[in-house]
Chain A
């Protein structure tokens, strides 16, 4: 099978073969890993229960993290009466926070594309999948489509906060989730491209400035917020809204913006939220606590 190094290449090949980009991505993965197509497919399918388990963990464990900054918010949102968020949005948001809380509290998760952004893709694709009664195979196909997009971003920009800021982590996750949902709903590759471009564009420039260097603030709640952004991007694309800038150019722009970001805003906790008076106070308190333990 032909290599793909851009969204355009991936989607053109998928259209040519009248299949989902996820199917192609699985075929390519099998080829590269020297395993059968079925093995590659099963490997992805087996991640679904791990995704679901991490979400359940996060919802069930209402304790605070070691730093005391996060914990219990997924459960809070899940049980609260919503004023205007739809049931699907509320669940996606709560589930994304749940997986991110599970991550912060040292439970098992699947990095997607990173640990800090691990809630967005499983929450969005999982909740929509459940809503439309998708099968595990359809869920798997959407995950392969999402993964293929992440792969292109990793190759042409970056998925690491230390390299490209949070846009590289949560931004990529939003693009992956939005396109995955469009695939799940049987949308066209053009719509998938629009969904991922719209999603990533909305997070361009997002910095990585975590308090005390931990994957907690703002990461955990941002996963929840970004799940809703991914759903919005998918709805826009399915409604026929186009991204003026094509997906590959958006990804390229993200990479360039990442290189322009100062190191202080790339996971070093030397600027932004990390050095606010409250951010500093929490950092000092945590350091004192750890020194005494």
Chain B
């Protein structure tokens, strides 16, 4: 833990886990969707469900989904802001035990009609972990540059993606691959030391016909 984790983060109150963390989960979900948000169904679990509204967890998630950071003044009025922007938000509160006290699950639909379901937990101190994207078990904290691919489980895809990154001198610090089954849909989560620029993500999309989608996440 660095000094600025002790004196910091700069955030909108009242709670680093229930407000700042919630905003980061929302913002990461937006990044993972990769386009402007049209609507979202948000389910809160555990302590998020029980005390979330008193902590502004709903407002913070909404603000994050609209692109705001935990320090944004817009969090206070995020629900109204979403209404003004024509973004439909629906909240539900579940009693289901998700194995962690502060969990939110978001089904986000973009303007293009594309949707993604993201589940994340708030770990305290404003730190979060995205644990599931569309049924894939992942671990994304938003504290590192992250590249996500959706591809088919076919030999050579991983090598080709790595080759493109190597060609641009982008160093991989950590990497995980998940698949639904042999030869089925798969996902790669790659952490890099630098942000993967847009022209490289374009190149990655085109590098192999089995790569369906590539998203580069910022540090949030």
Chain A residues proximal to chain B, CB less than 8 Å? 25-26, 29, 32-33, 43-44, 47, 50, 66-67, 102-116, 118, 121, 143-144, 146-148, 150-151, 154-155, 159-160, 162, 176, 212-216, 269, 286, 290
Contacts and interface: CB of A to CB of B under 8 A. Distances in A.
5 contacts: A25-B3, A104-B14, A109-B13, A112-B6, A214-B54
B125 A111 contact: yes
A286 B51 CA distance: 10
4 tightest A-B CB contacts, nearest first: A103-B13, A213-B51, A150-B6, A147-B3
Contacts of A215: 13-15, 55
Contact of A105 (B13, B16, B20, B124): B13
Contacts of B101: 162
B20 A151 contact: no
Contacts of B16: 111, 114-115
B2 interface: yes
Interface stretch (B25-33, B71-79, B138-146, B184-192): B71-79
A155 B6 CA distance: 11
Nearest to B77: A106
Nearest to A28: B3
Given A106-B14, A108-B11, 13 more contacts: A29-B2, A43-B4, A47-B7, A104-B13, A106-B13, A108-B10, A108-B12, A110-B10, A113-B6, A116-B14, A151-B6, A162-B17, A162-B124
Contacts of A150: 3, 6-7
Given A33-B2, A150-B6, A106 B15 contact: no
A143 B71 contact: no
A290 B93 CA distance: 12
Given A44-B7, A108-B11, A111-B8, A155 B1 contact: yes
B135 interface: no
A112 B7 contact: yes
Contacts of B71: 108
Contact of B54 (A50, A143, A212): A212
Most chain B beta-carbon contacts within 10 A, residue among A33, A47, A50, A103: A103
B120 interface: no
B64 interface: no
A107 B73 CA distance: 7
B151 interface: no
A115 B20 contact: yes
A69 B1 CA distance: 33
B50 interface: yes
B15 A116 contact: yes
Contacts of B125: 111, 114, 159-160
Nearest to B56: A106
Interface in B96-110: 101
Given A148-B3, A151-B2, A110 B14 contact: no
A155 B1 CA distance: 8
Nearest to A293: B53
A66 B52 CA distance: 13
A214 B12 contact: no
Contact of A44 (B3, B15, B17): B3
B13 A107 contact: yes
A106 B15 CA distance: 9
A44 B126 CA distance: 18
A112 B4 CA distance: 9
Interface in B71-99: 71, 73, 75-76
A106 B47 contact: no
Contacts of B117: none
B7 A214 contact: no
B14 A146 contact: no
A106 B75 contact: yes
Contacts of A144: 3
A41 B9 CA distance: 16
Contact of A146 (B7, B10, B17, B73): B7
Contacts of B7: 44, 47, 110-113, 121, 143, 146-147, 150
A216 B51 CA distance: 13
A213 B3 CA distance: 28
B59 interface: yes
A153 B14 CA distance: 22
A66 B54 contact: yes
A109 B11 contact: yes
Nearest to B13: A103
